[in-house]
Amino acid sequence: RKEVEQDPGPFNVPEGATVAFNCTYSNSASQSFFWYRQDCRKEPKLLMSVYSSGNEDGRFTAQLNRASQYISLLIRDSKLSDSATYLCVVSLMNRDDKIIFGKGTRLHILP
Amino acid sequence: DAGITQSPRHKVTETGTPVTLRCHQTENHRYMYWYRQDPGHGLRLIHYSYGVKDTDKGEVSDGYSVSRSKTEDFLLTLESATSSQTSVYFCAISLGRAQETQYFGPGTRLLVL
């Protein structure tokens, strides 16, 4: 099983719709979780951290399910500007300080 | 804005030549990283640094070396560039250890002919 897995997409979603993607991770010792956004030909940028109790930032909601080892990102009322690749990031707090990036899920918001 | 710059932003070079990429930060953060990003592979860690003169290998370190003589600069060197090193290279810093948020520079697009 890959360390971090994401559906590569693309997800083609009409403007205003709600879209959700999941990311699964294999190491139960994983301790920190993030969603990054990457626009075409740009650097990744932090979208939001994912907390155990779930967290929301405007139209974005992130959730963590430790039992099933996945995190999710929900985008409500999607905008054209949400079109991007969303990277799932998992880190292990051990002596290796390992951080693992998923390959990303491509999202296209359609007008 | 984490104050990270990379130079050059674009480079075309020939197989066998040495190439050095520079990452510069203005925030005095301890941890710095070099990644490469390729289609189908996502971001892969090449080397990282946890302080001046303190560096360690990532998962794809073969063919690369790094140096950090000052807190603000982290250099990545391809000793003898190969076509397989054609990629987009990102530098990143983290405010603390690796498990904390990473902030990325704008990237360097390298083409090895």
From chain B, pick out residues whose CB is under 8 angstroms from the CB of A104.
Answer: 42
Higher-confidence residue: B3 or A85? A85
Residue B103 pLDDT exceeds 60: yes
Chain B contact set for A98 (CB, 8 A): 98
Query: What is d(CA B36, CA B61) in angstroms, rounded to the nearest whole number?
Result: 10
Q: What is the pLDDT of residue B82?
A: 97
Asked if residue A106 lies in contact with residue A19, where contact means CB atoms within 8 angstroms, the answer is no
- List of residues 6+ apart from A67 with CB closer than 8 A: none
CB count in 10 Å sphere of residue A18: 12
Q: Rounded CA gap, B94 and A27, in Å?
A: 22
Instruction: Decide if A103 touches B, using CB distance below 8 A.
Output: yes
By Cβ distance, the residue of B35, B99, B106 closest to A91 is: B99
| pLDDT band (50, 70, 90) for residue B109 | very high
Nearest C-alpha in B relative to A85: B42
Residues B52-89: tens digit of each pLDDT: 999 999 989 999 999 999 999 999 999 999 999 999 99
- Report the alpha-carbon distance of residue B14 to residue B8 in Å, rounded: 16
For residue A1, pLDDT beyond 80: no
- Look at A46 and B102 and tell me if their CB atoms are within 8 Å: yes
Beta pairing, strands A11-14 & B102-104: unpaired
Q: What is the pLDDT of residue A96?
A: 60
Cβ distance A43 to B104 less than 8 Å, yes or no, reads yes
B93: pLDDT strictly greater than 90: yes
B contact test, residue of A5, A39, A43 with most B CBs within 10 A: A43
- Residue A71's pLDDT is what? 96
**3-class secondary structure, A82:** helix
pLDDT at A24 over 60: yes
pLDDT at A50 over 90: yes
What residues of chain A lie within 8 A of the CB of B107, using their CB? Answer: 42-43
Residue-wise pLDDT for A51-61, tens only, equals: 888 899 999 99
Contacts of B97 (CB under 8 A, 6+ apart): A93, A97, B31
Residue B61: beta bridge partners? none
Predicted pLDDT of residue B49: 93
Nearest by CB to A31, from B41, B99, B102: name it. Answer: B99
> Is A43 at the interface with chain B, CB within 8 A?
yes
Q: Is the pLDDT of residue B50 over 70?
A: yes
- pLDDT average, residue stretch A22-35: 89
CA of B43: how far to CAs of A40, A42, A55, B36, B46, in Å?
Answer: 14, 13, 25, 6, 10
The residue type at B78:
L
Longest dimension (CA), chain A: 47
